[in-house]
Amino acid sequence: MKITVLGAGYVGLVTSACLADMGNSVMCLDIDPARLRVLRDGGVPIHEPGLEALVRHNVAAHRLSFTDDAARAVGHGTIVFIAVGTPAAEDGSADLEHVLRAAASIGQHMEDYKVIVDKSTVPVGTADRVRETVLQQLQTRSTIVPFAVVSNPEFLKEGAAIEDFMRPDRIIVGSDDERATLLMRALYAPFLRNRDRLMTMDLRSAELTKYAANAMLATRISFMNELARVAERVGADIEQVRLGLGSDPRIGSHFLYAGCGWGGSCLPKDVKALRRTAADVGVDMSILGAVQAVNDRQRLLLVERAQQRFGASLRGRRFGLWGLAFKPGTDDLREAPSLEIIEALLQAGATVQAYDPAVTASPTRLLTRREGFSFADDPIAAAADADALMIVTEWREFRSPDFEALRERLRQPVIFDGRNLFDPQQMADLGFEYHGIGRGVAGLPAERATTGVPMALTA
């Protein structure tokens, strides 16, 4: 099958490579010259495990190509995916400028039947706007070309996107056109050989499902972060509570980890966009307001703990920081909690030295130019001569470090663990003062240790 994908960003590139790997002829359009240059040179502009090899393999097999020629791209595929960015506007709504521009381009260049697929995360009603935009262009050309618009939201996890695409737990197709639905079923059939996980529904239900899924995930995390505060005050361990909750099949174990907040390209903007969509139709989704407020507060919790430990002014203090990306498996810094943490530490007068296995120093990164911030070459180097270590991203290589070397390199053996990687008692036995999330403080003398947040201490 001939496929066109408009947009070689995260979703577009993964979609292109995976569809090509099943034997389809895929042409991917992007107008960013730098991104196209990287792709044509055999690289990929993002960090996603396995993606570079998959792209190279399918380019070499002549199943995947890249272009900046819109007419050529639109003419190539019977199915045309729109996979462009939908950033949050100032009022929280999704900015559809790029989506509608892509739709207009399709209308300007299409000559035969097309299935136009909204792959980008878009608000309810976007399919109607895409259809209207294409029709306007066709009317301008005084031509009639049949087409259908389909909603096919992505459910890809950064760091596991290829696995998610190749072995989906569900594929949602919103369609009101039987021919388009059949083509979408044929396209996805190779991915569903074991069990049919493709669900068809109306367009607006498909659009709402994507926002609802991300809002639910954000709600679960914020609930656990709120519960972690209660656990600290009453002397409970949120990790044990998590295990008890997750064992209930009605609840399940996913997205129940307390930590230093959620971020990334999806949850923050999708929570805002769903609230905006609801407000536009007269519904106050107050629960999502609370979810967002909890997250805003949680993202600075490690800094609050550091100031309670060392004092409000952190001038002269140095902090090691493990993890910059918003989650492991990616180099994505969009809405990453690390950025707010670093900024708050610098504003309080501290210096920060950070290590992340995927995020490296680059002249294009704002972090590189921040006075008081530096990149380290490895985790232990990030902790060198630091007053405390903060763990912000739960990369695997952080789970079992050389604790003896870590303790020796730290100026003070203090750890603020924003991802609850370690057992508090074990850390105390190893000689660390350990501050987890929802687990109290371990490793302090009895007169200092309290349930909840410790009082300010002098170093």
Active-site positions read 266
Phi, psi torsion values for 239, nearest 5 degrees: -70, -40
User: Encoding tokens for residue 284?
Assistant: 């106050």
| Pair type for strands 2-6 and 388-391 | unpaired
User: Encoding tokens for residue 427?
Assistant: 């850390």
Residue 453, number of CB atoms within 10 A of its CB: 17
Q: Which amino acid belongs to residue 20?
A: A
H runs (alpha helix) in 149-202: 161-166, 178-188
* 145 in Cβ contact with 138 (< 8 Å): yes
Half-sphere exposure of 157 (CA within 13 A, CB side): 14
Cα 399 to Cα 236, 322, 402, 403, 424, distances in angstroms: 23, 11, 10, 10, 13
* 93 in Cβ contact with 278 (< 8 Å): no
Torsion of CA 184, 188, 190, 193, to 10 degrees: -110
Rg (Cα) of the chain, in Å, rounded? 24
User: Encoding tokens for residue 377?
Assistant: 């070459």
Half-sphere exposure of 424 (CA within 13 A, CB side): 22
- Nearest Cα to Cα of residue 10 among 334, 355, 254: 334
Report d(CA 453, CA 459) in Å as an integer: 17
